[in-house]
């Protein structure tokens, strides 16, 4: 295993975007094949048509677990039993994470606002929480109870009344970290032991057991992500997320072992995870590579890390920090760490990143669990136009328009002129009729 080093020191900042485009086979890998889309569509349509029966058959086929209709929903008693066996330190950590995530999103929550103009008319926005939201929690190679905190807490702060959780059956076996977190969160209304494409489809369409939702959030594997993409329009979704990724900007002022540790923290997610670094010198690049190789051999997940680093790991050498910022903006990473002598000085130059971690004491992993912002972030370059999950992900707003008589007298004739120019004379008439009212 080795992490590849790319020398981009000949490129100026305005060339970084072109470089990323020419290397799109690496940076913008196609996630979905036609064959994959056909397979996912068949499962979706089967769940839409046959409901619980399709869920039961798919769960047996993909998870090797036999369910009956009564076993799809997880009871409070089952959650309580599965969530036992953790020590007080773990529960304290969970409580602290929930508290911090709640506080952050309370501060960030969108609020109704109104203003009055010089005509005496009032305008504004009224925010309303979604009624029912579905959260997908992955199973598989790692269990992610932290994802429930990072999705459910913003939804609860936003005022969502009903929250349904779906996750593979393995998530609810004895000594389940996910169940232990569910026990701590008041406001989770429904929990279902179905995962994969079939679980997402059930949330979108509803079945005999599962009530449909307005929006589906939460990360999943490539099949779950494709299912969300195909179901968008039947329901809203948070984003189309690909493999997780980190980009570390290192100017050589920090210990290369810290940089290497953060790259491995990303690579251990799965074989497709992307661990990237931008540095200013060949010497620092080689030091980081050596530390990556050393730390990998000590990791309990070294097989996953080796595959990830071989396929998707890179260290880029650039001429200065302006070039580093330009490359970061072109890549638009999910996580961006700035490990420089003055990380704040680079912040204003960053336009495209899901989450930005400043300085030696802000590793990405602290954001994964306890910092406060949600760790559900845009990936695969979509930070150019997507934002992290937040309370606004669970609300919608209505425009509020309250025009005074004086406002109609002043504004109405201008609106009527535009309406007539568009050939919409009834629009103009609906305005002019009101001009005669007291």
Question: Which amino acids are annotated catalytic?
Answer: 334-335
SS3 content of the chain, % helix, strand, coil (to 5): 50, 15, 35
Exposure on the CB side of residue 62, measured as CA atoms within 13 A: 23
Residue 51: its H or E element: none
Helix axis angle, 256-267 to 282-298, nearest 10°: 50
C-beta neighbour count of 344 within 10 angstroms = 10
Contact 375, 236 (CB under 8 A): no
CA 208 to CA 355: how far, in whole Å? 39
Spatial CA neighbour of 59 closest among 152, 116, 142, 139 = 139
CA 43 to CA 210: how far, in whole Å? 16
State both tokens at 78: 């089952």
Residue linked to tokens 């007291």: 438
CA 55 to CA 202: how far, in whole Å? 8
Residue linked to tokens 């568009």: 422
Spatial CA neighbour of 95 closest among 186, 184, 189, 187 = 184
CA 268 to CA 388: how far, in whole Å? 22
Residue 384: its H or E element: none
CA 113 to CA 62: how far, in whole Å? 48
Q: Residue 151 in 3-state DSSP?
A: helix
State both tokens at 129: 């929480």
Kind of pairing between the strands at 314-317 and 335-339: unpaired
Residue 86, exposed/middle/buried by CB under 10 A (0-12, 13-18, 19+)?
middle
C-beta neighbour count of 178 within 10 angstroms = 26
What letter does residue 72 receive in the DSSP assignment? S
Contact 164, 158 (CB under 8 A): no
């Amino acid at each position: 295993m080795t992490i590849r080093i790319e020398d981009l020191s000949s490129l100026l900042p305005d060339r970084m975007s072109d470089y990323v485009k020419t290397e799109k086979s690496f940076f913008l890998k196609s996630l979905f094949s036609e064959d994959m889309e056909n397979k996912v569509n068949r499962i979706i349509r089967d769940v839409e048509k046959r409901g619980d029966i399709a869920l039961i058959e798919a769960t047996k086929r993909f998870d090797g677990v036999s369910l009956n209709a009564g076993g799809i929903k997880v009871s409070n008693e089952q959650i309580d039993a599965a969530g036992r066996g953790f020590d007080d330190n773990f529960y304290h950590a969970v409580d602290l994470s929930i508290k911090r995530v709640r506080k952050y999103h309370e501060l960030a929550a969108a609020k109704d606002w109104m203003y009055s103009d010089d005509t005496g008319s009032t305008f504004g926005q009224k925010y309303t929480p979604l009624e029912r939201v579905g959260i997908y929690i992955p199973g598989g190679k790692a269990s992610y109870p932290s994802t429930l905190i990072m999705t459910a807490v913003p939804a609860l702060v936003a005022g969502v009344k009903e929250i349904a959780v779906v996750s593979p059956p393995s998530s609810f076996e004895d000594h389940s970290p996910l169940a232990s977190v569910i026990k701590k969160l008041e406001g989770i209304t429904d929990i279902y032991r179905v995962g994969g494409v079939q679980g997402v489809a059930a949330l979108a369409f509803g079945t005999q057991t599962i009530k449909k939702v307005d929006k589906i959030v939460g990360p999943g594997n490539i099949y779950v992500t494709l299912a969300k993409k195909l179901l968008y329009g039947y329901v809203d979704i948070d984003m189309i997320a690909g493999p997780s990724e980190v980009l570390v900007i290192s100017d050589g002022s920090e210990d290369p072992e810290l940089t290497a540790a953060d790259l491995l923290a990303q690579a251990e997610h799965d074989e497709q995870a992307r661990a990237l670094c931008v540095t200013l010198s060949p010497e620092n690049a080689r030091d980081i590579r050596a530390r990556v190789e050393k730390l990998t051999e000590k990791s309990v997940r070294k097989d996953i890390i080796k595959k990830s680093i071989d396929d998707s790991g890179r260290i880029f050498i650039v001429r200065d920090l302006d070039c580093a910022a330009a490359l970061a903006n072109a890549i638009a990473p999910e996580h961006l760490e700035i490990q420089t002598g003055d990380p704040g000085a680079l912040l204003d130059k960053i336009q495209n990143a899901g989450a930005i971690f400043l300085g030696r004491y802000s590793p990405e992993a602290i954001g994964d669990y306890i910092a406060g912002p949600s760790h559900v972030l845009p990936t695969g370059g979509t930070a150019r136009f997507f934002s992290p999950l937040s309370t606004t992900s669970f609300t919608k707003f209505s425009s509020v328009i309250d025009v005074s008589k004086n406002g109609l007298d002043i504004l109405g004739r201008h609106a009527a002129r535009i309406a007539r120019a568009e050939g919409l004379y009834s629009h103009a008439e609906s305005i002019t009729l009101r001009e005669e009212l007291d």
